[in-house]
Structure 1
């Protein structure tokens, strides 16, 4: 795969991300895929989906897990409902992530990703140790299939993420870096953060956002690529500096409206293509 192949976030049946027909029309060759519902994770459905991707010339690079009951309505709700941190849903969600890893393996994809949730900042908190243990369990399960596990940034600062990765201590634990999430959650300057966690980068999102008036207490605002506070050229230069040459995956949380997707994602592709030529030559 060429360095910095431009991709999009897509799904089979979850109504998230970019429609595959739009991706094909825009000439996109890689996708990160939101894991489908359990009923779509059968061998028969996988074979049909693989055939469709082959027909479109699209390669899946990461399969992302998401769970029923998660809500990103505001920061406190996200804290209570997202990922593997909430204790009451943890066991069921770890089991589901293993099923998603199996699905990714059937698809021939060697990476699974997820928002693990708001990891406790206090490493002596018993919950912290429990989340480290479930991350180890998921990494060990995925490693048997030769897979990496990518943690999406946002809920932790770069330093908090480094501490956690060190404590999990698994070679196949990597980072899916989303610069906009650092701004949306108010957890740190994205360019500084990407340089800190650079050696763990397994995948990245290209997404943009504006800071909230009270970062960390209220959401920032997601905006079209190039219209926010990330600074896309600085971001790509930082990715080059840390040696990242994998796909640049555009993630844009907009409705499944093909014309709007075509317009906004098309502009993002144009922006990234221009910057890629400027930086890589």
Structure 2
């Protein structure tokens, strides 16, 4: 795969990604894919998806998990409902992530990703050690198949993420860095955060956002790539600095407006290709 291959976050039957046909139309060669519904996570479905991707000349680089009952309505709701942190859904969701990892393996994909949720800041909180244990369990399941587990950024500061990765102590636990999420959640300046977690990067998103008036208490605003506070050129230069050479995966979450989504992803492809030439030569 070429250095910094342009990718896009896609969906087959669920989630917020662009349609596969749109990815193909835009000339995209790599995708992260939102895991399909449970009924579709089988070898027959995997074979159909692989045949279509082969036809399109597209490679899956990461399969992302998401769960029923998650809500990103506001930051407090996100804290209560997202990922493997909420205790009442943790066991079922951990089992589902293992199932998603098995499906990713059917696709020949060596990476799964997820929002693990708001990890307790206090490392002495009993919930903290339980989330560490569940991350270890998931990493060990994936490690047996040669897969990495990439944690999507946003809900933790870079320092909090480093602490957690250190405590989980699994070589296959990586970061899926999303610069816009740092702004949307109000958890830190994205460029500084990339410098801190750079040696743990397994994958990245290219997404943009504007800071909220009260960061961390209310959502920032997601905007088209290049129109927010990330500074995409500085972001890419920092990725180069930390030695990241994997795909640049565009994420634009407006599935209810497919035409606008397609246009904005197309603009993002053009922007990234231009910056790639400028930075990599």
- Provide TM-score, normalisation by structure 1: 0.99
Question: CA-to-partner distance for each residue in 1:12-63, whole Å, 9 max, x for gaps?
Answer: 1004211111111111000000001000101111111110111011100000
Q: Runs of 4+ in structure 1 displaced over 6 angstroms?
A: none
Gap runs ≥5 in structure 2: none
Deviation at 1:235, TM superposition (A): 0.1
Answering whether residue 35 of structure 2 is matched by residue 35 of structure 1, we say yes
How much has 1:256 moved relative to structure 2? 4.9
Contact 1:22 / 1:261 at 8 angstroms: preserved in 2? no
1:145 partnered with 2:136: no
Matched, 1:221 2:241: no
Q: Which residue of 2 aligns with 1:270?
A: 270
Q: Is the 8 A contact 1:75 1:185 kept in 2?
A: yes
Secondary structure of the structure 2 residue equivalent to 1:139: helix
SS in 1 for 2:170: coil
1:18 and 1:256 in contact (8 A); partners too: no
Alignment RMSD (CA, Å): 0.7
Q: What do residues 107-132 of structure 1 show as CA deviations (whole Å, max 9, x unaligned)?
A: 00000000000000000000000000
Shift of 1:259: 2.5
Matches within 5 A, 1:63-74: 63-74=63-74
CA distance in 2, matches of 1:239, 1:76: 31
Q: Distance in 1 between matches of 2:256 and 2:107?
A: 24
Whether the aligned pair in 1 keeps the contact of 2:84 and 2:94 (CA below 8 Å) is: yes
> How far is 1:262 from its partner?
2.4
Structure 2 counterpart of 1:260: 260
1:15/1:256 contact within 8 Å kept: no
Q: In the alignment, which residue of structure 2 is the partner of 1:95?
A: 95
Give me the whole-angstrom Cα distance separating, in 2, the residues matched to 1:183 and 1:134: 27
TM-score (norm 2): 0.99
Say whether the 8 Å CA contact 1:120–1:127 is kept in structure 2. Answer: yes
Match of residue 183 from structure 1: 183
Contact 1:151 1:176 in 2 (8 A): yes
Shift of 1:211: 0.1
Task: Give the secondary-structure state (helix, strand or coil) at the position aligned to 1:137.
Answer: helix
Across the two proteins, how many residue pairs are aligned to each other?
Answer: 281
For residue 261 of structure 1, report the CA deviation from its aligned partner. Answer: 2.5
